[in-house]
Amino acid sequence: MKFSELEYRRPDVARIEEDYKALIERVKKAETDEEILDIWAAHQRLSTEFNLSDRTVYIRNTMNTKDEFYLGEKAYFNSVSPSYYNTQNQLYKALLEHPKLQVLADKFGSILPKKMQVALDAADESVIDLQREDNALVQEYDELYASYMVEFEGKQMTLPQLAIYMMGGKDSATRRAARETDGKWFDEHHEKLDDIFSRMIQNRNEQAKRMGYRDYSELSYLRMGRIGYNMKDIENYREQVARDLVPVAKQLMDLRMQRVGIENPKLYDLDICFKDGNPEPAGDSDYMLAMCKKMYDELSPETAEFIDWMFENESFDVLTKPGKLLGAYMYNVSGYGPFVFANWNGSAFDVDTITHEMGHAFQGYVGNKLGLTLELVEPAMETCEIHSTSMEFLTSPFHHLFFGKDTAKYQLQHAEDALVATCYGCQVDEFQHIVYQKPELTPAERNQVWLELDKKYRPWIDNDGLPFYADGGAWQKQKHIYEFPFYFIDYCLARTAALQFFALHLKDEKEAWKRYVELVKKGGSETYSDLLQQAGFQNPFGEGSMKEIAETLATWCKENQV
């Protein structure tokens, strides 16, 4: 069934919650393994019923934020979801306390009770009102960001459309003018953006305090479902990146600027990778979609089956348009399947996006087909991002379909950007830890923190007095900071694995793909560290791990200059 044909009906959440309460009573009376497994199956049906509707609403709202019906339905789910998940957690609690709990661990894996406990520790009835308020703040932010529309060179443009000029304009003056236009929009809205974020910090920290945590940075590790590592491990990882990866990334940025002949690069120069222009897709959006289909048809039997399903069901929306939420994502809709959302603008980044999100979608499709229990279909996000980020590299034998003569240029740019993005991701993560741990910071002081972190993680940045950017407001462009706090470091952790997949791929394509599929099939049945170990890769928390990974990729980049 095409996603557009999927019928939406608002679920009776009150009835679903009552059904959960009935399951909780059944758990208390259950005496056999079979009863516990039957209760778990009923939970899966209820969870699917809720998530099918919730995720359908989310997708259709993001496709057109001006659609009043789905805007209203999104507000409805924002209101009822905290209570729903709290009720679901009470079932987890009852199961965790039951003497027959082991049957679930035996059938689905020892990680399942751990995930249930983390979900229980991350929520509490006392914060339901704050969670509803937080959901409303996210929607307020989404609506503001979706309104982004500026005039440039006589045309009305969305942010993805303007980004073509900011990042790939043919001359420095055009790129700077595009950045100025972008900065002015954010300057015009910065007070509102600051106000929303201040209220988010206050709200989320209050949630943490009511639940007995120091602040939201501590609670966030539970909300992100992290198992097997903690805040100290992440801090150590960030310091490794700052010490061992940032200098290598700076070398590559210096080499890039030498390659294009820019002696004193500014912010608006850094995305120019080649003197004769950045790589560009070889065709329009229809061509790109056709090549996407061809790529996955030929990559493997597993991906051929997957991409047939995606196209038959038109389970994607990739073109940018006014009123559409910015960004890209994949949602695995319970009871239906994966859906890919993006904002293509005709740049090389479209290929990054489609291979990344299709990596997520492929894992979701495989997990659904294997019948993994819902809690294990989707791993914690640092593992989900391995599937997507690795796919960007493992599809490299097919990049010529998208770029033709520009293929070598694209692959070099993509590899360089992987190191730079890891530095940036650590900057985003440390920024969030600081501002939640110091909620008294004013908006101006938060911006100053961002500028100081620029020096630590991206010392090659020169904002050249640009409005908004020079004042340290650039973090406001990163939607994850508002919508998905403390998520962004997961991209970095995943990229650590993806770069090891890439290194293996260079030596043995078949072995790399074999290990990747094995990882995908495991879903969330193991912890991040265990999955890396089973794939034969280094854990990024180990001392010195980033140095070897950075040097391996840097060597490849230096040997493949175009």
Looking at every residue in the chain, the average pLDDT score rounds to 95
Residue 78 has what pLDDT?
93
Provide, rounded to the nearest whole percent, the portion of the chain with pLDDT above 70.
100
> Average of pLDDT values for 298-310?
98
User: In the Cβ-directed half-sphere of 148, how many Cα atoms lie within 13 Å?
Assistant: 27
**pLDDT at 544 (0 to 100):** 86
| The pLDDT of residue 543 | 86
Predicted confidence at residue 170, as pLDDT, reads: 76
Convert the pLDDT of each residue in 496-520 to its tens digit: 899 999 999 999 999 999 999 999 9
Do 541 and 237 meet the contact criterion of CB atoms below 8 Å apart? yes
The reported pLDDT for the residue numbered 542 is: 85
Provide the β-strand partners of residue 319.
Answer: 344
Distance, in Å, from the CA atom of 512 to the CA atom of 500, rounded to the nearest integer, reads: 9
The string of pLDDT tens digits covering residues 53-88 is 999 999 999 999 999 999 999 999 999 999 999 999
Average pLDDT, integer, range 274-298: 95
Q: How high is the pLDDT of residue 507?
A: 94
Mean pLDDT of the 33-42 span: 98
> What structural domains and CATH numbers belong to the chain?
1-275+406-562 (1.10.1370.30)
- Give me the torsion for CA of 318, 415, 297, 324, rounded to 10°: -10
What pLDDT, on the 0 to 100 scale, is given for residue 226?
94
- Identify each DSSP E strand in 271-402 by its residue range: 316-319, 329-333, 337-344
pLDDT at 493: 94
Q: What is the pTM of this model?
A: 0.92
What is the CA 458 to chain-centroid distance, rounded? Answer: 21
pLDDT tops 90 at residue 546: no
Q: Long-range contact list for 403-408, CB < 8 A, 24+ apart?
A: 403/279, 403/280, 403/281, 403/282, 403/348, 403/351, 404/282, 406/279, 406/280, 406/282, 406/348, 407/279, 408/560, 408/562
410: confidence class by pLDDT, cuts 50, 70, 90: very high
Provide the pLDDT for residue 169.
72
The per-residue pLDDT for range 486-499, each reduced to its tens digit, is: 999 999 999 989 99
Q: Alpha-carbon distance 52 to 11, whole Å?
A: 9
* Mean pLDDT of the region 213-236: 95
pLDDT at 436 (0 to 100) = 98
Q: What is the pLDDT of residue 63?
A: 97
Q: Summarize pLDDT for 184-212 with one digit per residue, the tens.
A: 999 999 999 999 999 999 999 999 999 99
- Mean pLDDT for 34-41 is 98
Is it the case that residue 118 has pLDDT exceeding 80? yes
Tell me, what's the pLDDT at 119? Answer: 94
pLDDT at 326 over 90: no
- Indicate if the alpha-carbon torsion angle 43, 45, 50, 56 is positive or negative: positive
Cα separation, 85 vs 293, whole angstroms: 37
Task: With a cut of 90, say whether residue 545 has pLDDT above it.
Answer: no
